[in-house]
Amino acid sequence: MSDTPPLSPADPDKLASAIAYALCFDGRGKPLGVQAKADHSYMARNVMQQLERSGYLVTKKPSLDRLEMGVPVYATRPVD
């Protein structure tokens, strides 16, 4: 048996708190400067690193192949 605790859904308030922290501070706890806040790639990496430090694991559901589901490709276009 593994000693890893089972995964559970994240508490939305705690997740929001971790993201808010990442949008204001760097990994050392120092406030982010204006230039860092303007760099969207930097901010995205900072958010992901903060979530990892806070113990979150981000996963993605597998995508479904439309052809396997029998949905015609023309039926997947957005309707205006």
pLDDT higher than threshold 80 for residue 28: yes
What local confidence, expressed as pLDDT, does residue 50 receive? Answer: 92
Query: Does residue 63 sit within a domain?
Result: no
The interaxial angle of helices 12-24 and 40-53, nearest 10 deg, is 130
Residue with more model confidence, 34 or 60: 34
Query: Does residue 79 sit within a domain?
Result: no
d(CA 49, CA 67): 36
Mean of pLDDT over the chain: 81
Contact 46/26 with Cβ under 8 angstroms?
A: yes
Q: What is the pTM for the complete model shown? A: 0.61
Determine the structural domain holding residue 32 and report its residue range: 12-53
Query: Does residue 46 sit within a domain?
Result: yes
Total number of domains in the chain: 1
The model's pLDDT over 41-80, given as tens digits with 9 standing for 90+, comes to 999 999 999 999 998 988 877 776 665 666 665 655 555 5
